[in-house]
Amino acid sequence: MKNLLHDRKIWAKPGKKHHVSDFDTEYTADFIKKNDALDKLDKNLEEMIQMQDKLYADSRYSLLLVFQAMDAAGKDGTIKHVMSGVNPQGTQVFSFKTPTATELDHDYLWRIYKRLPERGNIGIFNRSHYEEVLVVKVHPEFLLRQQLPDAKNLNSINDNFWMQRYHQINNFEKHLSENGTVILKFFLNVSKEEQKKRFLKRIDDPARNWKFSANDVKERSFWNAYMQAYSEMLTHTSTDYAPWFVIPADNKWFMRYAVSNIIINRLKELNLEYPTLPPAEMAGLEQARQMLMEEK
């Protein structure tokens, strides 16, 4: 299995300038067609289950998976698929929506901090603190609601302001990583044409109508501004301790495969093992065995 962790077609190498258009939305690595990947995907899901079990038993690390994407790129489906089979006891999914009044009364990382996974657990963020440099950057008027001393009006929101935000996010993630949170960030990169096809499908198919919101088409009209914001996000916040992966999203089967490949290869680097008991407790096990065997 090709390790996609450092595949330059997917991995936004830290310290480099990136643009979304440098990444191919149709890339499929070594696979030519869907069927070639399906067996491998099944194997990956099996392996995920075993690795999660070890992560939980080891209880030193937590794994944070961040998902960001344009609408209809397939966040929900990918999360559902990649996590299928893993023990629900060790996973938490959280979807971040428009901040509430209470959330706006705190700094933007407050609500994020509260949802971080516990040691041994996998936490999945469906949208995240990155909305703060994506939707908020495309619509800076959202910032005024945050009542920030440095952003009293739209004129005061300049490049420095955003650089400071990237810096804050990097510091936050560095702190987490130094304290045992392993962070992987996925930008599901769908093309504008493919998004249109998927929207039309949602409109045409009654079973998919519920997934469609008229606002999604409005946001689509800001496509270029979003791509610019994503590009700057990749350039400034892909780091060794919390790298971004630009997952080609036009082929859903490859998107799922690629995400599972990256998670597994990263978990392998942790060399997780089931804890071994200290000698005194091992002796206790032997005693317990004897008691059980001697039962009448």
Q: Which residues bind ligand ATP (CB under 6 A)?
A: 71, 75-76, 96-99, 126-127, 131-132, 135-136, 142, 213
Q: Which is nearer to ligand ATP, 75 or 202 (CB)?
A: 75
**Separation of alpha carbons 3 and 8, rounded Å:** 11
Among residues 11 and 94, whose Cβ is nearest to ligand ATP? 94
| Minimum CB–partner distance for residue 110 and ligand ATP (Å) | 11
Distance, C-alpha 137 to centroid of its chain: 20
CB-based contacts of 48, cutoff 8 Å, min separation 6 = 82, 83, 85, 86, 260, 263, 264
Smallest gap, in angstroms, from Cβ of residue 132 to ligand ATP? 5
Q: What residues are paired with 228 via a beta bridge?
A: none
Q: Are 212 and 203 spatial neighbours (Cβ–Cβ below 8 Å)?
A: yes
Shortest CB 16 distance to ligand ATP, Å: 27
Least Å distance, CB 138 to ligand ATP, is: 9
Q: What is the DSSP string of 140-173?
A: THHHHTT--TT-SSGGG--HHHHHHHHHHHHHHH
Based on CB atoms, which residue is closest to ligand ATP, 142 or 253?
142
Q: Minimum distance between the CB of residue 232 and ligand ATP, rounded to whole angstroms? A: 17
Closest CB to ligand ATP among 8 and 145? Answer: 145
Q: Give residue number: closest CB to ligand ATP.
A: 131
Compare residues 212 and 254 and give the one whose CB is closer to ligand ATP.
Answer: 212
Q: How far is CA 128 from CA 54, 97, 99, 121, 201, in A?
A: 26, 9, 11, 18, 27
